Amino acid sequence: MNKRTVTWILATALAAGALATAGTVTAYAEETKTIKFFHRFPDEPFNSYIERKIAEYEEMHPEIDFVVESAQNAPYKEKIKVVAGGEDCPDIFFSWCGEFTERFIRQGLILDLNPYLEADPEWADSLIESQMINYTTSDGMVYGVPFRLDAKVMFYNIDQFEEAGCEVPTTWDELIDVCQKLQDAGFTPIAYGNQDLWPSAHYIGTFNQMTVSDEVRAVDYEPTTGAFTDEGYLRSLQLYQELIPYFNDNVNGITADMARSNFCMEMGAMYYAELIEIPYISDPTTGLNPDLNYGMFVFPTIEGPGDPGILTGAPEGFVVSSKTQYPDECVEFLKWFLGQESGIDEAQSIGWFDAAKDTTEGVTDQMLLDGYNIIMNAERMGPWFDNVLYSTVCDEYLTAVSDLTNGDVTPEDAMAKIQAKALEAQTLAAQATPEE
């Protein structure tokens, strides 16, 4: 074999190797799966936690590339309503359980997780049933997995209660008596901010659970049958009106976050809070006042045909778009991201619990553990009122309660507007036209 032949053979081999390498790179590029992920937690430390977990998953799965976007609560709600039905829909996105997501389900936009749960009984058994039921439709479709468990309780300033001679109230009359004692002692009884409107829904939803029977609420929360004519709904607005003198001034000019800050700075003796707000208060690195001496109690009982055993609140989680190119990959990620191992990390890192069982390991904040136990021991959970209502009815309800807070309408006037909007919604829902 002469030198020219050897040179030709080497050149051919090098060229072939280069082509093979190029082909491998091309194939790898083609196999990269881009998953768009949209959430509503841009604040720290929550955003950093999510970014860290996604980076961990990408390292374990180099074929997966996440594109992450986030937005604050109000703009998030508006954007996801727009993009969910379009070509730019995220593959995985945060969504509240109840009507907020079920509107997307009616349009065929959400992936049914039942086949995956049935194919993986171990995964199904690892999830807390009382929380998963919130992401299950009446006909049995499972459409999401909770990222954080949540409920509404009343936080209270122990020192101010003691100074005013107050005991934790267990009934409505006792609550009003406590409010009056606190006010007489020079304290603002309840820190409250309703600038974003949804906080009022947590009060009204809690009241409705006790003043209106389960059967009636079920009919009225269904958009095709809702009428809201039961007298219990009016009574809820009247009860809310009773509390108004005990709120801080300028309720509709203050955000919920500002109200929480006021409570932390001891400018309000009580604050109707979500359990997921505990880290904002007690975390020694990020909390507003980690030395605040506070406790919590479930909302006092209101006598009526409803169920005082219902705990207001629902988990919040993630759903998968039915339009995704990678349904299996999205579900596999959720199994890991919302599973027990990540759940323990989440609880230790940011003070939130997911829906996996046994995630309290290593949590030392007693308030977090108390909040977790309140949810685990609840007889039943009641959905967030603003997420269970048909969108137009919800808007009318929130506006009416805001006006009631300002003293611009009476409970009767507010209820009449809500009932009129509910009748209109029956027609809209029956026609199955777009809601937004």
Amino acid at site 404: L
Q: Is 378 exposed, middle or buried (0-12, 13-18, 19+ CB in 10 A)?
A: middle
The whole-number pLDDT of residue 290 equals 77
How many Å apart are CA 232 and CA 220, to the nearest integer? 12
432 compared with 376, residue with greater pLDDT = 376
Question: What is the pLDDT averaged over residues 367-386?
Answer: 92
Distance of CA 132 to the CA centre of its chain: 13
Q: What is the DSSP string of 55-95?
A: HHHHHH-TTEEEEEEE--HHHHHHHHHHHTTSTT--SEEEE
Range of lowest pLDDT (38-47, 140-149, 417-426, 427-436): 427-436
**Size of the chain, expressed as the number of residues it contains:** 436
Over residues 30-54, the pLDDT tens digits come to: 589 999 999 999 999 999 999 999 9
Helix, strand or coil, per DSSP, at residue 94: strand
Instruction: Using DSSP bridges, classify how beta strands 33-39 and 64-70 pair: parallel, antiparallel or unpaired.
Output: parallel
Q: Identify the bridge partners of residue 68 per DSSP, sorted by sequence position.
A: 37
Asked if residues 367 and 278 have their Cβ atoms less than 8 Å apart, the reply is: yes
CA angle 90, 93, 98 (to 5 degrees): 130
Nearest residue to 400 (alpha-carbon basis) of 387, 385, 419? 419
pLDDT tens digits for range 65-117: 999 999 998 899 999 999 998 889 999 999 999 888 998 999 999 999 999 99
Residue 113: φ, ψ to 5°: -90, -5
- Are 314 and 150 within 8 A, CB to CB? yes
Pairing of strands 145-148, 294-297: unpaired
pLDDT, tens digit (0-9, with 9 covering 90-100), for 386-416: 988 998 999 999 999 999 999 999 999 999 9
Q: Which domains does the chain show, CATH number per domain?
A: 32-150+315-376 (3.40.190.10), 152-312+390-431 (3.40.190.10)
pLDDT digits (tens, 9 = 90+) for 131-178: 999 999 989 999 999 999 999 999 999 999 999 999 999 999 999 999
Residue 47 burial by Cβ neighbours in a 10 Å radius (0-12, 13-18, 19+): middle
CA atoms within 13 A on the CB side of 82: 5
On the question of pLDDT at 22 being above 60, the answer is no
